[in-house]
C-alpha cells in the first residue's frame, strides 16, 4: 500500500463513530480489509452489536506467537461544538489528522492491521504466528469493563501468546510495564431526620468520614512501604463524594468513590480485604452501615527489561524514526491487565502512535508517526518471527 492508501484507511476508521459501543461498524470494515488481502479473519460476538475482531497470519512452525492488540471503541465526545473540526470528520491539516480516536487508538489499530496486510502481500515468511486482536469495551466507564479482552482470554485466544503489543498512544515510546487499578464505591446508610433533631436520625456522612480517615492512614503506610523500580508507588485518589438531599435534613445516604493505581508489590485482593476489615471495624464501633462495592480490579503488568521483544522494538523504532525512544513504565491501564490473567508468561509491550491529546478536544495524530509505526510493526513481526 502507498502512503495515501494507508492514510485513507485510517480516515475510514475515524469516520466510524464507535463512542461507547457499536464496534461492529468498525469490525466489518476490518474484516473486509483483511479479506481483500487474503488474511484469515473472523468476528467474535461479545454483546449485541459489539464483536471482537481476530486475524491470523504465519505458518505456526515454531512456538512463537505475537499478538498485535488494539481496542475498537473510543471515548465519548462530550461537546462536539468545542472542537475545531467535527470529531468524526478525520480532517487533515498541517500533517495531522484530527478526530476522536486518532490517537486512542484507531491510529495504532489501523497501523497494526495494515502491517499485517502488507506482510501478507509481501509473502513474508513468518516462522510462527502473527495475530491481530481487536477488542470491544476497553473505554467503557461501566462496571467490569474490558469485556472484549476478558472474552479473548476466556475463549483461549491468549493461552499460546508469547508476546503481545498493545497499540495505546505512547508517542512511540516503548512501555514494558503499567500500573493496575482498583476502583470501588463505599456506601453508607443512615437514617433521615430533621436537622433540628439529629438525635432522631443517623448521619450517613459521619461514618464515611471515619472511613476516609482510616483509608488515608492505610494508604499512607502502603505508599511509603512499597515502590516499584519502574512504576514508582501506588497512587490513591478519592474521585467523588456524594451525600444528603437538602440543607435542613440529616442525610440517610452517602457514598465515596476511589481510584487506586496499583503496582505489582501491592496485591489487589489483599488491599480489598484490608479495606473490608476497616469497614467491619467502623460498622462495629460506630453502629454504622458501610459497605464496599468493587467496580473494577485490574492487575499491574510487567515484562523484563531485557526481554527479546523489548530489544526488537527498540531497534525497529530506531531504524525507522532515526533516534532511540524512551523505554519506560506508564501509569494508565490497558487490556493487557485482563489478558495476562490468562497467560502470565507472555511478554507485553505498550507501544503505539499518538500523543497526550487522547480523550481531549481536538484529538489528533501526527501522520508521519502513524506511517512510521506501520513499518515499525512490520519489522517487529519479521524480527520476532524470523
Write out pLDDT tens, residues 87-108: 999 999 999 999 999 999 999 9
Nearest to 168 by CA among 103, 112, 256, 79: 103
Q: What is the pLDDT of residue 141?
A: 60
Q: Point out which residues pair with 253 in neighbouring strands.
A: 189
The ranges of the chain annotated as CATH 3.30.70.360 are: 180-298
193 CB-near residues (< 8 Å, 6+ apart) = 199, 200, 201, 249, 250
Among candidate residues 24, 73, 131, 366, the one labeled active-site is 73
Cα gap 192→197, rounded to integer Å = 10
Annotated catalytic, 73? yes
Q: Which residue has the cell 498493545?
A: 166
Annotated catalytic, 36? no
Q: What is the pLDDT of residue 54?
A: 99
The ranges of the chain annotated as CATH 3.40.630.10 are: 3-178+300-384
Among candidate residues 24, 104, 138, 338, the one labeled active-site is 138
Instruction: Among 3.30.1330.10, 3.40.50.720, 3.30.70.1230, 3.30.70.360, name the CATH number for the domain at 180-298.
Output: 3.30.70.360
pTM surpassing 0.85? yes
Cα gap 114→374, rounded to integer Å = 7
140 CB-near residues (< 8 Å, 6+ apart) = 20, 73, 146, 147
Grid cell listed for 78: 462530550
Q: What is the pLDDT of residue 326?
A: 84
Cα gap 75→85, rounded to integer Å = 17
Q: What is the pLDDT of residue 143?
A: 56
Tell the CATH topology of 3-178+300-384.
Aminopeptidase (3.40.630)
Which residues, given as ranges, of the chain have pLDDT below 50? none
Amino acid at each position: 500500500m502507498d502512503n495515501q492508501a494507508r492514510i485513507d484507511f485510517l480516515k475510514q476508521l475515524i469516520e466510524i463513530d464507535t463512542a461507547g459501543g457499536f464496534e461492529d461498524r468498525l469490525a466489518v470494515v476490518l474484516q473486509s480489509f483483511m479479506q481483500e488481502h487474503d488474511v484469515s479473519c473472523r468476528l467474535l460476538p461479545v454483546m449485541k452489536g459489539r464483536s471482537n475482531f481476530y486475524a491470523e497470519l504465519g505458518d505456526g512452525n515454531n512456538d512463537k506467537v505475537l499478538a498485535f492488540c488494539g481496542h475498537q471503541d473510543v471515548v465519548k465526545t462530550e461537546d462536539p461544538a468545542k472542537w475545531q473540526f467535527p470529531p468524526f470528520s478525520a480532517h487533515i491539516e498541517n500533517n495531522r489528522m484530527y478526530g476522536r480516536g486518532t490517537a486512542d487508538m484507531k491510529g495504532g489499530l489501523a497501523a497494526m492491521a495494515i502491517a499485517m496486510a502488507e506482510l501478507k502481500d509481501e509473502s513474508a515468511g513468518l516462522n510462527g504466528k502473527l495475530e491481530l486482536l481487536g477488542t470491544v469495551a476497553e473505554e467503557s466507564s461501566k462496571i467490569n469493563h474490558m469485556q472484549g479482552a476478558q472474552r479473548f482470554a476466556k475463549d483461549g485466544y491468549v493461552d499460546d501468546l508469547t508476546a503481545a503489543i498493545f497499540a495505546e498512544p505512547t508517542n512511540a515510546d516503548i512501555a514494558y510495564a503499567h500500573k493496575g487499578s482498583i476502583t470501588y464505591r463505599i456506601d453508607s446508610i443512615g437514617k433521615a431526620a430533621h436537622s433540628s433533631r439529629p438525635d432522631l436520625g443517623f448521619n450517613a456522612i459521619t461514618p464515611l468520614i471515619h472511613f476516609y480517615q482510616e483509608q488515608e492512614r492505610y494508604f499512607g503506610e502502603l505508599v511509603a512501604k512499597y515502590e516499584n523500580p519502574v512504576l514508582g508507588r501506588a497512587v490513591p485518589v478519592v474521585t467523588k463524594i456524594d451525600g444528603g438531599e437538602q440543607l435542613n435534613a440529616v442525610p440517610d445516604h452517602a457514598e465515596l468513590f476511589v481510584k487506586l493505581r496499583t503496582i505489582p508489590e501491592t496485591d489487589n485482593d489483599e488491599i480489598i480485604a484490608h479495606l473490608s476489615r476497616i469497614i467491619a471495624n467502623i460498622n462495629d464501633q460506630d453502629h454504622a452501615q458501610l459497605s464496599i462495592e468493587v467496580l473494577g480490579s485490574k492487575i499491574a503488568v510487567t515484562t523484563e527489561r531485557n526481554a527479546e521483544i523489548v530489544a526488537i522494538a527498540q531497534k525497529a523504532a530506531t531504524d525507522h524514526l532515526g533516534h532511540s525512544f524512551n523505554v519506560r513504565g506508564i501509569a494508565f491501564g490497558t487490556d493487557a491487565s485482563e489478558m495476562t490473567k490468562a497467560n502470565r508468561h507472555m511478554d507485553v509491550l505498550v507501544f503505539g502512535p499518538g500523543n497526550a491529546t487522547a480523550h481531549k478536544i481536538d484529538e489528533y495524530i501526527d501522520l508521519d508517526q502513524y506511517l512510521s509505526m506501520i513499518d515499525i510493526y512490520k519489522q517487529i513481526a519479521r524480527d520476532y518471527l524470523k
